[in-house]
Structure 1
């Protein structure tokens, strides 16, 4: 079992089935160095190991300025190719853990969301942004390409042309544009960001959480399959839900015109 001892760069707080993972380097605008990526991975291991109590994970950044302003340039400046590859692999490992969690994940983007920060947010199931948040993949302005998944996850969110434009220009876009192109699912005023995310989490928690997890799994695993193969996969997962107590309770509640009380079994 994982634990949360000796995590210097992140915070993990639990409250009524919702955990909030906060990147906690506000003096560095929550920039991601190796130690922070390792801490993120450890915290995610804990979340996965406690899926019985943690049902939704929120990812955000400490302070008012940044979600994550990118990877830590002070660490990367003198890296050679081998060291850069190791840092990239470390980020991919941590971000892969987010994508593969059975729990639903929400990025609460409270400020600058650049480079590795946008790549982190893109690893979550959905993104809610502050109206003051800024988004971008500015790696080419540093003479490098995105290395934490940006060429792939951003393309899947916004399409090939828009991803190429954002990456090739290195320019930032605001929350309104991020919503328009599909990076954000919702926008909230800064003071309402966490309450908006909590409302979304509360709505999810009212549903059959086995079904939520399975729906997430089907979407993620079948999205790139041929349609007929993906439909077959969906049918298999759909049929499996009929072996759960949640399905019996959900349909009984509908027929009895009452709110379902899902046992999550």
Structure 2
């Protein structure tokens, strides 16, 4: 069953929640289409001041559908990279302040969604990272570009090349998270952070966000194009297919 994207407008807060029966949320093609439709609604909404992305269950988001990744070739890999990048860029461009409320494991595309948000809050038991190089590919939905932009190339290399899911405190130290809260206080803490934002001047928040997002060296569109080309080039080697098969078969990859 595909992960469902549920949008709820709650006064000045818009809540986007991922839901799956088994609690493991993945960005399948169907789910990406739902996310695009959800973003259409958020972009048309003039009332929300804060958007909270969250989920329940075993993961915050496990990233892309590995079965889809296994079926890609160089051409389709480029297409899916550009599609995913545009979704994350639309999240980044949303007018309200965006919060990623990460209660559990957040990997790959889930981390790329989180990096597109303005604020990232984690529960103490969560883990977060970009494990793509462990299956022979790279983060292709803005992960390489945004880690370098947000944290600088040195820290970005540690995050991307290590391909680890970092425990909450380590993720906080790297900058992947802005704040970590005890598991049993997490939901309340996120609501309190949203309330603090709602107490600020809406126009001031909007203008500040716009300026901060624009204050970036380099051309992000060109960087995203380069990332998509590199993501696709991985598939020309056959290594992602071997990496995904090894992951699914729970064995070491034979590079």
TM-score when normalising by structure 2? 0.80
CA–CA distance in structure 2, aligned partners of residues 214 and 59 of structure 1: 22
Contact 2:3 2:27 in 1 (8 A): no
Matched residue, 1:252: none
Matched residue, 2:55: 61
Matched residue, 1:35: 30
CA–CA distance in structure 2, aligned partners of residues 155 and 147 of structure 1: 13
Rg larger for = 1
Matched residue, 2:124: 131
Which of 92, 97, 122 lines up with 2:85 in the alignment? 92
Which of 184, 208, 215 lines up with 1:215 in the alignment? 208
Matched residue, 2:227: none
CA–CA distance in structure 2, aligned partners of residues 19 and 191 of structure 1: 23
Aligned pairs (5 A) from 1:104-143: 104-143=97-136
CA–CA distance in structure 2, aligned partners of residues 97 and 17 of structure 1: 20
RMSD value over aligned CA atoms? 1.7
CA–CA distance in structure 2, aligned partners of residues 75 and 26 of structure 1: 20
Q: Given the alignment of the two structures, is residue 183 of structure 1 paired with residue 172 of structure 2, yes or no?
A: no
CA–CA distance in structure 2, aligned partners of residues 223 and 166 of structure 1: 20
Q: Deviations over 1:189-236 (max 9, x none)?
A: 2232222111111111112101100000001112328xxxxxxxxxxx
Aligned pairs (5 A) from 1:136-151: 136-151=129-144
Q: How many pairs are equivalent?
A: 217
Q: Deviations over 1:17-66 (max 9, x none)?
A: 11110122352611111111121121111112112x21110011232x21
Runs of 4+ residues over 4 Å off in structure 1: none
Contact 2:122 2:168 in 1 (8 A): yes
Shift of 1:79: 1.4
* SS at 1:30 equivalent: coil
Matched residue, 1:75: 68
Matched residue, 2:94: 101
Structure 1 residue runs without a partner (length 5+) = 1-6, 226-265
Contact 1:38 1:94 in 2 (8 A): no
CA–CA distance in structure 2, aligned partners of residues 126 and 58 of structure 1: 10
Aligned pairs (5 A) from 1:42-53: 42-51=37-46, 53=47
Contact 1:127 1:185 in 2 (8 A): yes
Which of 1, 19, 26 lines up with 1:24 in the alignment? 19
* SS at 2:141 equivalent: coil
* SS at 1:27 equivalent: coil
Cα 1:146–1:26 change in 2 (3 A) is farther
